[in-house]
Structure formats: structure tokens, C-alpha cells
Amino acid sequence: MKTAIAIRHVCFEDLGTLEPLLQARGYTVRYVDAAVDDLHALDVASPDLMIVLGGPIGAFDDALYPFITAEMALVRQRLDSRRPLLGICLGAQMIARALGARVGSMGVKEIGYAPLTLTLEGEASPLAALGRVPVLHWHGDQFDIPADAVRLAGTDVCPHQAFALGRHVLALQCHLEADVQQIEHWLVGHACELSQAGLDPRELRTQAHALQPLLSAAAQAVFGDWLDRAEADQPSHAHRMAAPTPDQPLGFGMPDWQPRPLPGPVTLHGSTCRVEPLSAAAHAESLFHAYQQDRQGRDWAYLSVGPFDTLEQYRHHVEHITRHQDPLHYAVVDSSTGLAVGTLALMRQQPEHGVIEVGFVSFSPALQRSRMATEAHFLLMSYVFETLRYRRCEWKCDSLNERSRHAAERLGFQPEGVFRQAFIYKGRNRDTAWFAVTDQDWPLLQNAFQAWLDERNFDAQGQQLRRLQCLRESLQS
């Protein structure tokens, strides 16, 4: 299975007609939302394809949108890898900027459908499949052609509409990916821009419907041809794998590795609790009241959020964090009461490497140091290793958070060191302690969890008879 990563700037400007083509060619597509996801943790060298999508901001607006600095670094890393990279509109401008070309305002808006005029190089490129089919333009910025790149197309309004760098980089100012359904989202999402430009959305809608059959087929041909050429230039995995030598040992080979699925909104059932997708409507009220049992707010000291003074504040927080796939938050629900008593999340998801982190663990006093707490972690770890088949599950915390460090080691996470001055939160420094469990560790841990959770390991008062660590040690000996 091949992997494609798509960096998105607004939710309705997605891959459009390109996504089903990628899926048909065997790609697993992962979206990254540039403004909200952690770009610093993103690996852009490994995926088979990277696509940087469009958006209503400028490629040079770093001061207004600081994430652009991190995104530009990712684009440069991808260019350095010499692996297939596609930029659309804003994405094309970012590629041009990363290659040292000037990017700036045109002074006018180019919005509407018009054909491209191809250069001689463009006529020999995948864009030749367009012929004179009008394509969608929606931009007010433009780029110069970078050094070593080849101009492929232009229009009367914008002479630099597309360029290529080798066969692995294609930058398009126009929107070949947009289909009729997507255009309707644009007409609503960019209503102010259309009004300011004096454009009637009804005309654009009529054009979109009239051109859809021709444009869809032409776009599929363009993207398909480009992918054929870009993929053909990529060395096979076998050729990329170096052989170890006596003076240069290498990690064990994984020639059959396939990227793993992203975690999803699953419900995991245990005997004392269930772990289910976090929802403001279903869980915010019970969680808020459960957290109120921590009168001094000490449980929030090592988290980047909280404490919350009102239910409305906490409800707003839950609504915000549940809008995103990464982190993906879950609620821990007490099976005996049906009330949520804590949350945790799967975050820093790296399906291409099979690596994920359990984080944002926020257990109320009713859940802490309980059988439910252990079972909740067991359910989530089982999902990671048994269902998703990830190779590594991480746990990170403030190095001063003794309770979190103790919990990690009790659950079987092995310490891997401290990253000093890792970041700043709540106005103070954090040194981050790292822990992890690998798929090689998991079978032993799984057996120990199952033995500990067994009813026979608890007395009539519900107290454990054997500690989890002792069970692990006895199974290991």
C-alpha cells in the first residue's frame, strides 16, 4: 500500500477528484490540517506522495499565520528528498517560495473558468491532456518560475500558471481537483471574496455544472499521467535499502512493511468500563462534575489546559478538541453508572511508521488508581497493537510529573530518556520524559494485563491480590 499525505488549509479545499484516483492507484491518503496539527512532528520524507493544497491565505503571510514557517520547512524537506510533490494554488506558491522564487500579489483577482495556454514544454507534459478545456482559477497571488524549473502554462491574467521541476515536482496555480460538489462549498466559504470582486456565484455554478464532464476526465488524465511519470522515477524499495557492512551496522530490514490505518472513532468494551469517542453532548457534563472532585485543581498542573471554572468553559474545550483527528480523544465511561470519568487520546499519529502516542490523559479522582483506569489503558493499547497493528506506542510527560512517570512504568512503558527544555507551557519550562512499548514488548504485557484484570485477582472488597508489575515479572521468568 502506497501512502499520500495531503496538507490542507481549509476543510473544504481538499483533494476533490484527485482523491478517488489516488485510492484506485493503491494510495492510503492522510490529511494534515496545517493550522491546527503539529507540523513539527510530521515526517514528510517517507510518504510516497505529498500534496500541498490551496487556501485563502498568502504563502508569505508568516507574521499573520505562524504555522506557515513550519509548513515551509516541510516543503523544503520534501524537495530535498526528491520524491513526488504536487502543489495546488497556495501549495504551488509555497513550492515556488521554497525554491527561492518571488511570490506576491497580482493586484487583481483571477476567479473563474478559462483555458490554459501551454508552452512547448507544457505541450509535452501531463498538462497536454487538458487541450483547451477551461479550468478553474481562484487566486490573487502569483509566483515567478524558480531557477531550474520549467514553465508549463499561463493565462492572459497570470502568465505563470504551472511549472515542473524534473518529473517529480508539479506546481499548479489553477484548480484541476475541484468538482461540482466542492465548488458549492467554495461559493459559500468564499462568499465575501466573490462579493468584493463583484462576481455572481450563479455564473460560476452554471459554468461548473456545464464543464464538469469534460474537466473531470481531463483532470484525471493530467494527474494520472503525472503520477505515472513521477512514480517511474522513484527507485524501488529494494534499491533504496543499503546493505550492512562490518563497519556500518544497520537496523533490521522491513521489506514487507505496510503503513497502518489511522485510529478511528471506535468503542472499546471492558468489564468495568468502556472507551468511546469523546463528545461534548454525551460527556462534558459528567466529566466536568467528576473533575470538580479535585478541589485544588492539582490534576491539571502538568496538562497544557485547565482547570475549568464552569461547565460552559469545559464544554467549549471539549467541542474544540473533538474537531480534529489528531489528537483523537476518547472518554472513559464507568460501566456501572454510565457516566464518563476521564479522557485520554491517541496522538502524534504516524501510520507510515506504525508509531502513536497515548496522551492527554485526564483521569478524575474517581478513576485514578482504580481497576477501571488500568482496564481503560489496556483497552486502548490492545486497539493500538492488536487492531491497528502499530509497532510502537509512546507515553510522554513532564519529567517532574512523578505520578505520570510511575503510571507509565507500572503499565509496562519503558523509560527512554529525557528531552531537556522540550517546550514551554503555562509560562514554565518542560523537560519531557519519554516512555514506550513496542510490538515486541506487547505479548508479555498483554498476558500480564489479562491476568491482573481477571476476577480471581481481586478479593471481596475489590482489592488486588497480585500487583501488575509482579505478574509481569513472574511471566517473564
Please choose, from the candidates 367, 294, 291, 297, the residue with its C-alpha nearest in 3D space to the C-alpha of residue 332. 367
Q: Can you give the pLDDT at residue 419?
A: 96
Q: What single string gives the DSSP state of each residue in 211-224?
A: HHHHHHHHHHHHHH
Please check the confidence at residue 238 and state whether its pLDDT lies above 50: no
pTM of the model: 0.57
Q: What is the pLDDT confidence band of residue 196, given thresholds at 50, 70 and 90? A: confident
Q: How far apart are CA 466 and CA 108, in angstroms?
A: 73
pLDDT at 303: 95
Whether residue 256 lies inside any domain: the answer is: no
Same domain, residue pair 228 and 335: no
Residues 205 and 309 in one domain: no
Residue 235's pLDDT band, with cuts at 50, 70 and 90, is: low
Question: Structurally, how many domains does the chain consist of?
Answer: 2
Choose the final residue of a domain: 174, 208, 233. Answer: 233
pLDDT per position as a tens digit, 389-443? 999 999 999 999 999 999 999 999 999 999 999 999 999 999 999 999 999 999 9
Does 389 map to a domain?
yes
Q: How confident is the model at residue 242 (pLDDT cuts 50, 70, 90)?
A: low
Given 211, 233, 255, the domain boundary residue is: 233
Q: In this structure, is residue 37 part of a structural domain?
A: yes
CATH code for the domain of 58:
3.40.50.880
38 located within any domain: yes
Residue 279 pLDDT > 80? yes
Cell 483497552 belongs to: 379
Q: 228 and 277, same structural domain?
A: no
Asked, for residue 142, whether it belongs to a domain, the answer is yes
pLDDT of res. 237:
46
The DSSP 8-state label assigned to residue 260 in this structure reads: P
The answer to whether the CB of 346 falls within 8 A of the CB of 358 is yes
The verdict on 323 and 224 lying in the same domain is no
* Amino acid occupying residue 294: D
Does 251 reside within a domain?
no
| pLDDT (0 to 100) of residue 254 | 79
Residue 393: all three cell numbers together: 506506542
Last residue of one domain, picked from the residues 185, 214, 233: 233
Averaged pLDDT score across all residues of the chain = 93
- Same domain, yes or no: 274 and 176: no
Query: What letter would DSSP give residue 65?
Result: -
- CA dist., res. 139 & res. 158, Å (int): 10
pLDDT tier, 241 (very low <50, low <70, confident <90, very high otherwise): low
258 located within any domain: no
What pLDDT does 95 receive?
98
List of residues 6+ apart from 78 with CB closer than 8 A: 44, 45, 50, 85
pLDDT tens figures, 87-141: 999 999 999 999 999 999 998 999 999 999 999 999 999 999 998 899 999 999 9
| Cell triple for 133 | 478545456
Higher-confidence position of 40 and 451: 451
247 found inside a domain: no
Whether 447 and 372 map to the same domain: the answer is: yes
Cα(300)–Cα(477) distance, rounded to whole angstroms?
Answer: 39
Q: pLDDT by residue (tens digit) across 165-194?
A: 999 999 999 999 988 878 888 888 888 888
Q: Where residue 365 sits, what CATH number does that domain have?
A: 3.40.630.30
Mean pLDDT of 341-360: 95
Sequence letter at residue 4 = A
Check: CB of residue 321 under 8 Å from CB of residue 329: yes
Q: Which domain holds residue 278?
A: 268-476
